[in-house]
Amino acid sequence: MASLKLSSLTKRFGANAAVNGVDLTVDHGLLVCLLGPSGCGKTTTLRLLAGFIDPDDGQIAVNGRIVSTPNATLPPEKRNMSMIFQSYALWPHMTIWDNVAYGLKLRRLPRDDIERRVSAMLGVVKMKEYADRYPSELSGGQQQRVALARALVVEPETLLLDEPLSNLDANLREEMRFEIRRLHDEFRYTTVYVTHDQSEAMTTADMIVVMNLGRIEQAGSPEEIYERPASEFVARFIGGTNILRGRHIGDGVVEGKGFRLFCAQGEPAREGETAVSVRPHKVQMLQANPGAAADNVIRGRIVRQVYLGASRDYLVEQDSGHQVRLTTDTIQSIDVGSVVWLRMPPEHCRALPR
Ligand code: ATP
């Protein structure tokens, strides 16, 4: 297992910095997800880690040994890393057995060792009975399992995964997320996993690194990232949220157009605008006016209601014109056009500096 340390890592393509001063430490045996919108620099970071490209600034160290700097990089094959791509990249002319054995043959391991390790690994990914087939005779999910087996059988210190599930259908993707986590719990290779799928990251990661425009916005456990987003970008990107903008008038109270909210969470901006984040499922909807004494209440009118099976999704327009989304139990069915009062509990109002 390896520990990874990225320091001020920067990669430019022309005038555009795809990765811009990234600092990140990944401890031994952790599974870290790089998560962020398209073009935020996830794949470039992974390719820098693999040694496929050189940084323009900064460095990468593996187990304390520097492997990438602008002047010198250790070639990919000397890094003891395995990488899995979106496209599986299995050898089409080789059987499943030969695909998995390939890396071990390359390392000139004794025949018995190869037999034992390939057989064990095909067992782990539940593909033993397919050993004699060719990749074209397998489903996408089965091919991805073989790709995992091929990457793991060489016992890499680091496993790099680039959107490994994006070619699979929704059900299989969900199943494979748990499979990747199970394999990680079994082998505990240090893993860097690139995805733009939030629930994939939540299911698999010990640590999520949210990237935006080549930089790290926030790094933390899935719970930290969701419960305590450090920026508006993270709050919106992870889980979705309502943002209300105003000014902090002291003691955690943010005042905006038509509202005054006490925020028990987060940190208001010292000056200028503060954004208040409230998750849709934390907003309570009342049909009667709770009175002027009630805290954190905003009046509005329902403009949309959608039945989603497990919940109802409402869009409510405040008197100021600003819209708030909320989800409720399906029992609470209120007609479009009704006037309602939205209560935003202070413990779920998070002040975020802009
Ligand atoms: P996606 O989720 O769409 O794969 P990503 O977060 O992995 O996106 P990168 O592939 O790292 O993003 O790309 C980051 C930025 O760098 C993008 O603006 C991209 O266009 C640019 N970029 C990446 N590779 C190259 C290249 N070889 N030449 C020029 N620009 C590149």
**CB of 43 closer than 6 A to ligand 1?**
yes
Higher pLDDT, 256 or 174: 256
Task: For residue 147, give the 3-state DSSP assignment.
Answer: helix
Q: What is the pLDDT of residue 148?
A: 84
What integer pLDDT is reported at residue 8 of this predicted model? 97
CB contact at 8 A, 186 and 121: no
Q: In what order do the strands lie in the sheet with 81-84?
A: 81-84, 158-162, 190-195, 31-35, 207-212, 215-220
| Beta strand spans in 196-238 (E) | 207-212, 215-220
Confirm or reject: Cβ of 47 under 6 Å from ligand 1: no
For range 311-325, the mean pLDDT: 94
Looking at domain 4-227, its CATH class is: alpha beta
Is the confidence at residue 1, as pLDDT, over 80? no
Element holding 116 (H helix, E strand): helix 111-124
32 burial level (CB within 10 Å; 0-12, 13-18, 19+):
buried
Q: What is the pLDDT of residue 23?
A: 97
Top-level class of domain 241-353: mainly beta
Q: What percent of the chain has pLDDT over 70?
A: 99
pLDDT in tens, 46-72: 999 999 999 999 999 999 999 999 998
- Helices and strands of the chain, counted as H and E runs: 8, 21
Kindly list the domain boundaries of the chain, sorted by start residue. 4-227, 241-353
Considering only 92-101, 132-141, 273-282, which range has the smallest mean pLDDT? Answer: 132-141
Tell me which residue has tokens 């105003």.
Answer: 246
Say what percent of the chain tops pLDDT 90: 65
Per-residue pLDDT of 186-205, as tens digits, reads 888 899 999 988 989 998 99
Residue 353 has pLDDT above 80, yes or no: no
Please give the Cα distance from 250 to 263 (Å, whole number): 10
pLDDT of 354: 67
Look at residue 337 and tell me whether its pLDDT is greater than 90. Answer: yes
**42: Cβ below 6 Å to ligand 1?**
yes
40 alpha carbon – ligand 1 mean position (Å): 7
pTM for the whole structure: 0.86
- Residue 88: its pLDDT value, please? 65
Ligand 1: centre distance to CA 33 (Å): 17
